[in-house]
Amino acid sequence: MERIKVLVSGACGRMGREVIKAVVKDEGLQLVAAVDKINVGKDIGIIAGLETLGVTIGDDLNERIVKDKPQVMVDFTTPALVMENLRTGLKAGVHVVVGTTGISPADLREIEELCDNYQTNALVAPNFAIGALLMMRCAAISAQYFSQVEIIELHHDQKLDAPSGTSIKTAEMILANRVGPSHPEIGEEKIKGARGGEIDGIRLHSVRLPGLIAHQEVIFGSEGQTLTIRHDSLSRESFMPGVILGIKKVIENQGLTYGLDHFLFKD
């Protein structure tokens, strides 16, 4: 069986290094290129804590695509860079798997167009942890029975954006299923922001602390009861089964897929 040729963009980052290890470990995949702006010229195996892999880190995405001919590009870079990388990959005929956050609805429309125009596929996944996807699904089901809910997301202190993409997607899924309106807020906010941010009556709270990875709690409340649904990513390994599944599925799923849940669940 031909192995799928993979390029990792943002290869030296916290997620990128984990993706390198997961790709190298998988018999169906072949790591052909690594791109980052740091450690250029070094072997990515050493940077990822493995043995030498014979794949040198490059800083020019287009050049690596032309030379190494990847079939799939995995991007874990920064919100400021991700769309440029996507354009480069999709226009060059490479399918993309994107974990980088900060992709707007307008960006999604552009990605869809690029996929159509260049006959390439894209998976944009706000969260690759399978447990997190189940947490979101359980929240969407629970929204049919509880109209009051708040979301608390907790992440490491290096995270660049707030609230997290996962918490926004969770709120959207809850809103799509919610039975009644949320109660109007009473009481005054003595310190601005004390009640968190808000999407259509759903309060979102972002905690940023060293020691955390990625965690989320969805708390529903009604008369005399609460229901708490919580997911914890305790290490970045938690995202890897989802990333590997994404690489294998993106090749056969035409156009843009938004959310790994489309590759996981039947309905």
Catalytic residues, by residue number, are 155, 159
- Taking the complex as a whole, the smallest distance from the CB of residue 214 to ligand NAD amounts, in Å, to 6
CA distance 255 to 112: 6
Task: Choose the binding region for ligand NAD from 10-18, 139-147, 172-180, 216-224 (rule: CB under 6 A).
Answer: 10-18
Residue 206 binds to ligand NAD (criterion: CB under 6 A): no
- Secondary structure element (H or E) that encloses residue 35, with its range: strand 29-35
CA nearest to 85, candidates 67, 104, 64, 113 = 64
Cβ neighbours of residue 225 closer than 8 Å, sequence gap 6 or more: none
Query: Can residue 246 be called a binding residue for ligand NAD (CB under 6 A)?
Result: no
216 scored as a contact of ligand NAD (CB under 6 A):
no
Sign of dihedral through CA atoms 162, 164, 170, 172? Answer: positive
CA distance 95 to 79: 19
State yes or no: residue 239 binds ligand NAD (CB under 6 A).
Answer: yes
Nearest residue to ligand NAD by CB is: 13
The amino acid sitting at 14 is R
Shorter beta-carbon distance to ligand NAD: residue 161 or 198 = 161
Query: Which one, 14 or 181, has the nearer CB to ligand NAD?
Result: 14
Among residues 200, 213, 205, which one has the least CA distance to residue 173? 200
Quick one: 150 or 242, whose CB is closer to ligand NAD?
A: 242
Instruction: Provide DSSP, 114-149.
Output: HHHHHT--EEE-S---HHHHHHHHHHHHHTTT--EE
81 part of the interface to ligand NAD, by CB under 6 A: yes
Write each residue from 165 to 204 as x if it is in contact with ligand NAD (CB under 6 A), else as -, in one continuous string.
----------------------------------------
- Give the Cα-Cα-Cα angle 206, 13, 256 (nearest 5 degrees): 75
Rounded Cα distance between 97 and 2, Å, is 19
Give the residue with the Cβ less far from ligand NAD, 146 or 153: 153
- Positions in 17-46 near ligand NAD (CB under 6 A): 35-38
Which one of 66-74, 110-118, 123-131, 138-146 is the stretch in contact with ligand NAD (CB under 6 A)?
123-131
Instruction: Answer yes or no whether residue 12 interacts with ligand NAD by CB under 6 A.
Output: yes
Q: Is 121 in the site for ligand NAD (CB under 6 A)?
A: no
Q: Give the shortest CB-204-to-ligand NAD separation in angstroms.
A: 16
Give the shortest CB-167-to-ligand NAD separation in angstroms. 12
3-state helix, strand, coil in the chain (%, to 5): 35, 25, 40
- Site size toward ligand NAD (CB under 6 A) is 24
CA dist., res. 158 & res. 54, Å (int): 31
Going by their DSSP bridges, the two strands 148-155 and 202-208 should be labelled as parallel
Give the residues lining the site for ligand NAD (CB under 6 A).
10, 12-16, 35-38, 76-79, 81, 99-101, 125-128, 159, 239
